[in-house]
Amino acid sequence: MTDDLLRLDDLKVHFPIRNGFVDTVLRRSHGVVRAVDGIDLTLRRGEVLGLVGESGSGKTTTGRVIVKLTRQTSGTIMFDGKDVSNLRGTTGLRPYRRRVQLIFQDPYETLNPKQTINDFVMEPLIVNGLGMDGADRQRRVFGALEAAGMRPATDFAFRYPHELSGGQRQRVVIAGALVMGPELIVADEPVSMLDVSIRTELLRLMLDLRAERGLTYLFITHDLSLAWVIADRIAVMYLGKIMEIGPAERVIRAPHNPYTQALVSVSPSPDPPTAGTRAKRTILVGETPDAAHVPSGCRFHPRCPYAFDRCRVEEPPLFDVGAGHQAACWLAEGGRSLPVLPPHQLGEVAQPGLAADAEVVPKTAAAEALAPAPAAAPAAATGASDPPQPTPGA
């Protein structure tokens, strides 16, 4: 038993682009979509790792690879010290899938409308031949339902999904995962479809279950504030790469990657904005490029307010910035923290123009100020709580 429950090494998932039937038959492709493009990730036993990214960042694909619903193109997946990258077939996958379960986003579509709750939760037991007999299975089903907060289980077990509220349905989905007694749960946007008040209950349930059963979660979400609330560590993905990873407190309070910085600045907050907070927002222009055309160098550079020459040609690795915190940005090299630029020089919503193909040249006053810096700049202390004051043009 190792401390690391799951380790991904240089994981890549590339989907070939095939136009139509002929391509499929001939196995011919017109380039690839680099959904996941070389990530290293470690999940420690008992932790909640929040995997955050926009649509198209590859976060869901990463989750699907971990539960073996999608095959990786290359790289390895180590689970509990064993290489599970190439598990195949019933005999190989079943023992693994008992230990690793997936919770999908949409409780309305996950449940079969014609199946009772009881049948839904029991099905994996039957498929996997778990439980000694019918009575034992039934006990496990009721146990899982009650663990998921459906108490008493007999009140709910024989209902159909349409008789339940959204929150209750998601509890049923969680029960369906729990009934297998998993160690790792990959939760893909588990609360995104739910109301705010119900979300909290489910997040609490997930944390309670972790405490009771020692579960480990990979919590996939597009909502940084949800990850902030539930995760011990946060990994931020952009276009198939991890841009930043570290303890939640550090990633949110002292982001070392401009992308994370922008995400934090636009993250919804119920505090009414003042002129100050509004000015601090960095709304990036344009949208995430599609993963079939990944930009050269740092893949974030076309939208990055800090981008300089090196970013356009050379991809930054994850630099250690202290306290288990890493960021993939040339500005973070040597553990330096990000400068804080005056807001109007950040990627403001300059033009309403939002061409999908917009190759937005970032505001350059900032970039110029920084461009000569990389090699010469003193390696500032890793304490990111004191980012240098803006000195553009200095």
Partner 1 sequence: MIGRASAGSKASGAKVPAPVDARGRTLPKQADPAQPLLAVDDLRTYFDLEGATVHAVDGVSFNLQQGEALGIAGESGCGKTTTALSLVRLLPSNARIAGGSIRYFGIDLVPKSAEALRRYRWREISIVFQGAMNALNPVHRLRDQITEPLMERLNLSEAQARKRAGELLELVGIPRKRGSAYPHELSGGMRQRAMIAMALACDPAIVIGDEPTTALDVMIQAQILELLERLRRELGLSLILITHDLSVIAETCDRILVMYAGRVAEEGPVGEVFRRPRHPYTQKLLSAFPNIQADRRTLDVIPGSPPDLRHPPPGCRFAPRCPFVMPVCSEVIPPEVSFGGVRVACHLYPSGSDGTPAGMLAPGYEAPAAVAAPTVAGPTVGAPAGFAAPTVGTPAAVTHPAPVEPPTGGSLA
Q: Which stretch binds partner 1 (CB under 8 A): 14-22, 80-88, 349-357, 382-390?
A: 349-357
Counting contacts by CB under 8 A, is residue 292 touching partner 1?
A: no
Q: Does 385 bind partner 1 (CB under 8 A)?
A: no
What sign has the CA pseudo-torsion 369, 375, 381, 383?
A: positive
Q: Is 281 in the site for partner 1 (CB under 8 A)?
A: yes
Least CB distance from residue 58 to partner 1, whole Å? Answer: 14
Asked whether the CA dihedral 294, 304, 286, 247 is positive or negative, the reply is positive
Piece of the chain touching partner 1 by CB under 8 A; list 112-120, 128-136, 201-209, 318-326: 201-209
Q: What is the Cα–Cα distance from 109 to 107, expressed in whole angstroms?
A: 5
Number of residues engaging partner 1 in binding (CB under 8 A): 53
Q: Rule CB under 8 A: is residue 106 a binding residue for partner 1?
A: no
Q: Are strands 216-221 and 184-188 parallel, antiparallel or unpaired?
A: parallel
Sole window of 111-119, 175-183, 264-272, 326-334 interacting with partner 1 (rule: CB under 8 A) = 264-272
Is residue 223 near partner 1 by the rule CB under 8 A? yes
The encoded tokens of residue 151 equal 């108490």
Binding mask 158-197 for partner 1 (x = CB under 8 A): -------xxx---------------------------xxx
CA distance 74 to 105: 27
Which CB sits closer to partner 1, 93 or 203? 203
Residue 336 in contact with residue 380, Cβ under 8 Å?
yes
In angstroms, rounded to a whole number, what is the distance separating the alpha carbons of residues 189 and 187?
A: 6
DSSP secondary structure letters along 41-109: EEEETT-EEEEE--TTSSHHHHHHHHTTSS--SEEEEEETTEE-TT--HHHHHHHHHHHEEEE-S-HHH
Minimum CB distance to partner 1, residue 222 (Å):
6
Report d(CA 305, CA 309) in Å as an integer. Answer: 13
**Binding residues vs partner 1 (CB under 8 A):** 54-55, 165-167, 195-201, 203-204, 207-208, 210-212, 222-226, 228-230, 248-249, 252, 262-264, 266-273, 281, 283-284, 287-288, 349, 351-356
